[in-house]
Chain A
Amino acid sequence: MIGEYSGFILAGLGGGAVVAALALGLVLTNRATGVINFAFGAMGMYVAFAYFQFRDNGDLILPVIFVPSRIHLLETPTLFTALLMAVFLSAALGAATYWLVFRPLRRAPALASVVASLGLMLYLQEVVRLNFPTGSAATVVRMGVLPERPVRFLGTAVTANRLLLVVFVVLATVALTALFRYTKFGLQTRAAAGSQKGAMLVGISPDRIGLINSMIATVIAGIAVILIEPISGLDPITTSLLVLPALAAALLGGLSSFTIATCAGLGIGMLQSLILGYTVKPSTSWIPDWVPRTGLQQAVPVILVLIALVWRGDALPDRAYLVDKRLPSSPTPRHVALWTLLLVGATSVALLGFDAPHRQALIVTMVSALLALSIVVITGYVGQISLAQLAFAGVAGFTVINVANDGLPFPLAALVATLVATAVGVVVALPAARVRGMSLAIATLAMAVALEQLVLSSKGFSGGVAGRSAPRPVLFGADFGISARGADNFRPIFGFLVLGVLTVSCLMVANLRRNRTGLRWLAVRSNERAAAAAGINVARSKIGAFAVSSCIAGLAGVLLAYSTSTLSTNSFMVIGALVALALTYLGGIASIGGALIAGLLAQAGLFTLVANGGTDGKAGTYVFAISGLGLIVMAIFAPDGITGAVRQGAQRLQMSLRMSGQPPQQTALAGSGPGAGSGLGAGAGPAEGEPDHE
């Protein structure tokens, strides 16, 4: 009976209201600037953390690292001063993110703004984790804003704060709708969204419009997250990911309707709460045990996102779709044999010569590079932003453990797991072939959450929180297992297995890139209409690329399963997928060398080990925050990543050498710093930096 669940439905109003508020903000920023800001939930999350800190002791904590972040403003903060502070802080945050991050990216490809907003999200999460005190001693008393006493509404008891939250959101919706419909500012925003150039011609400044709208949006998000805290709690990661159901609601409103977005947001919240209510009932026995109950609750907005996206999607962009934006350059791999020889040789020497911690870091580096390679294929070469690669790896990782524990011998189990990941990749690709750009990023993020919540969190599949362990890989009687006692741990032979898989994968990707398949991928990335006119089946090309890249991600997952004593769902959380995309972008998303650099930079990889050694472990603390910042900077200033920067530097060096009239070989010998880069600069590999380690 619906009656017995009405309590749950009304309880969902609170969660629904915050989803609706974030959706309002997303619609607002999208209408004003054309950007979908993945960091929107994280921005609200930071404002809420700052609010509760200030309310507690009058300290304002700024989102900065390395410099002192705490300013003591007031001795006795009141509700009013704290709320005032929150409004100013969120307006300032909205202004800063627009001015520093999204305004420079107005004309950049969707990938750049996705990457920048992911960088912002990562940065804010890390800043909150680093700057706000946690642990029992330093815990802040979070004083709620709204009264929590129960009231009766439609014959059901519900706390007052839930109803007031809904009132807040409805008022915001009405105000925004009126603002857009009846004021000159609203008209200007609509004009600027229609044509920035045209708006500038009639004297409207798109910068001012974007700035103000971004400030309004962030204030709404900040206030909503503050108000929801007593109901849903506040956590750097889960609160940031509220952006996902909010995106679902915003998309249902076509990213332009405030009213539909708000209704959809409230509906999603109530639906989630209803599912929660339904699944906790002991009488609910038809849901199989392997379905995680909380996962079901999280999966609902995801399914809505997908339906909205696929429903709105179109197989080919129409004539109005502008593709004049520059994508990260993807040079043809050159000197492949030489690079292979050099890198395999150096890595082999390192595997035999390193001590156990360095061997471990090298193995982590190689597995991470493999995952990054899968991102290079799908996002770098084909331009399809996929945030599901880590989830594919997770599917393969737990599949290999399960089938191996069922008695399937090592290489077969790995093969089966890789094929399963490939199949999942193709299934994800089927709807993905209908959407592009930002929408695809959202769709794959939604898929990743669905896989994480419904499959990877399933006790029957992954062993839940405890995780599962793989048996040792044995091939023709030879033990390839990673673990051994003491200093022999992280055995070199496992390292060679990983090196072999990575080398073969890189070579195959290099071949694909140099052959027609790779040309077709780049053609699809560059211009889908022209690709179709050149006889390319765009959808099939994308699905093929998804298959290749999920196969590589699956291999990475298999190797990860064999390289850890216990594989747990935590290795495959969505936040990890964002970091993986970020690092690959940092390395250079459209080249194989970029994937290798991403591996070096990965958490617990060689770079952090070396950096930690030099800084007493401080580098490890800041690695996520720095990579978040680095991501934003790279997206704006160096879309070709580190490999691109090295390549350009080498080209410039060659040019200036030619200009000065000297033969290049001589001057290279004469000791110009990055000499390795000048000879092979056109190639795709890492030209300098880690000659001893790679």
Chain B
Amino acid sequence: MSEVILQVRDLSVRYGGVLALSSVSFDVADGQIVGLIGPNGAGKTTCIDALSGFTTPSARNPSFSYISFLGRSIDRLSPQSRVRLGFARTFQSLELFDDLTVRDNLRVAAATPTWISTVTDALWPKRKVDAAVDEVLELLGLDSFAEDRPEHLSNGQRHLVAVGRALVGRPRLLLLDEPAAGLNPSETVELSKLLRSLPDRGVSVLLVDHDMSLVLGVCDQVHVLDFGSIIASGTPEQIRSDPLVISAYLGQGSSGVDEPVVGGGSDS
């Protein structure tokens, strides 16, 4: 396989007395789509928060690299520095900038400022045309809504704006937190087409979702989280037939855990 761009080793997160994530390890290789599934409260969003710098991991051995991206440790980097390295994410609740138009939602993420840019922005009256923004708007079919505010869009379009905002900085790795939550079936199909096209554009994906058919349909590799630990890893075929996964997540079978899981719920 191609080179590993994200390497996660022994990542743990503790909220008070609760171990939300316990010694999680996995890799994402260049051009791969990796899925992370698990029932509510399994630690999926916590994992994305820890990877993107929004949550501090509990074990912090300074000489150990818990999260390595493109060959360097990013444990101590702020969220925005990780973004600049090519590490974009979306949020389960989208968190779009409601005051800004769709185009401006993307423009704001398109380029990193320098200390001089405040001065040049003050002196320069014209808006600069941004090729990257137009390209992503076109890719996602959002060009005709570019001047609308997110609140005027459909739920599916809002999800696309969130993905677009993450894509516009040309990331190497995209972390998607429940991108299909609340989408209707045809929108989900469109989304999986989009996701499958991303590796060709040089973007690897870490996908967290409830929607089993989406995750198993688009991912090359799937990890199953339960109570903060990875209980199974493998290709979608292997996951489908894994007895542990079936009892913990799919809710079928013999064990006492009976938890039918459907998409759209909220993670803790």
Q: Please report A residues at the B interface, Cβ cutoff 8 Å.
A: 316, 319, 323, 327, 329-330, 336, 507-512, 514-520, 522-523, 525-527, 529-538, 544, 547-548
Contact = CB atoms under 8 A, between A and B. Distances in A.
A511 B128 CA distance: 12
A523 B78 contact: no
Contacts of A512: 118, 121-122
B118 A533 contact: no
A532 B87 CA distance: 12
A514 B125 contact: yes
B153 to A, nearest CB: 16
B222 interface: no
A532 B121 contact: no
Given A522-B99, A535-B169, A508 B111 contact: no
B89 interface: yes
A537 B89 contact: no
A536 B165 CA distance: 12
- Which of A519, A522, A537 has the largest number of chain B CB atoms within 10 A? A519
Given A511-B123, A512-B121, A526 B100 contact: yes
Nearest to A507: B125
A517 B108 contact: no
A516 B121 contact: yes
Contact of A535 (B97, B112, B122, B128): B112
B111 A529 contact: no
B100 A519 contact: yes
B125 A530 contact: no
Contact of B99 (A336, A508, A526, A529): A526
B125 A336 contact: yes
B123 A508 contact: yes
B52 interface: yes
Interface string B70-97: 0000000011100110001111000111
29 contacts: A316-B54, A316-B79, A329-B99, A507-B125, A511-B121, A515-B121, A515-B124, A515-B127, A516-B107, A516-B108, A516-B121, A517-B122, A519-B104, A522-B100, A526-B97, A526-B99, A527-B97, A529-B95, A530-B95, A530-B96, A531-B97, A533-B54, A533-B79, A534-B83, A535-B84, A538-B80, A547-B118, A548-B118, A548-B122
Contacts of B96: 527, 530
A537 B122 CA distance: 19
B97 to A, nearest CB: 4
Interface of B: 49, 52-54, 78-80, 83-84, 88-91, 95-100, 104, 107-113, 117-118, 121-125, 127-128, 165-166, 169
Contact of B109 (A509, A527, A534, A548): A534
A408 B121 CA distance: 31
Given A511-B121, A522-B99, A526-B97, A534 B108 contact: yes
A25 to B, nearest CB: 31
- Which of A327, A516, A526, A548 has the largest number of chain B CB atoms within 10 A? A516
Given A511-B124, A511-B125, A517-B121, A522 B80 contact: no
B108 A520 contact: yes
Contacts of A319: 49, 54
A522 B97 contact: yes
A510 B121 CA distance: 10
Given A511-B121, A523-B100, A537 B78 contact: yes
B80 A536 contact: yes
A526 B98 CA distance: 7
Given A523-B108, A533-B83, A535-B80, A517 B117 contact: yes
Contact of B108 (A329, A510, A519): A519
Contacts of B91: 529-530, 533
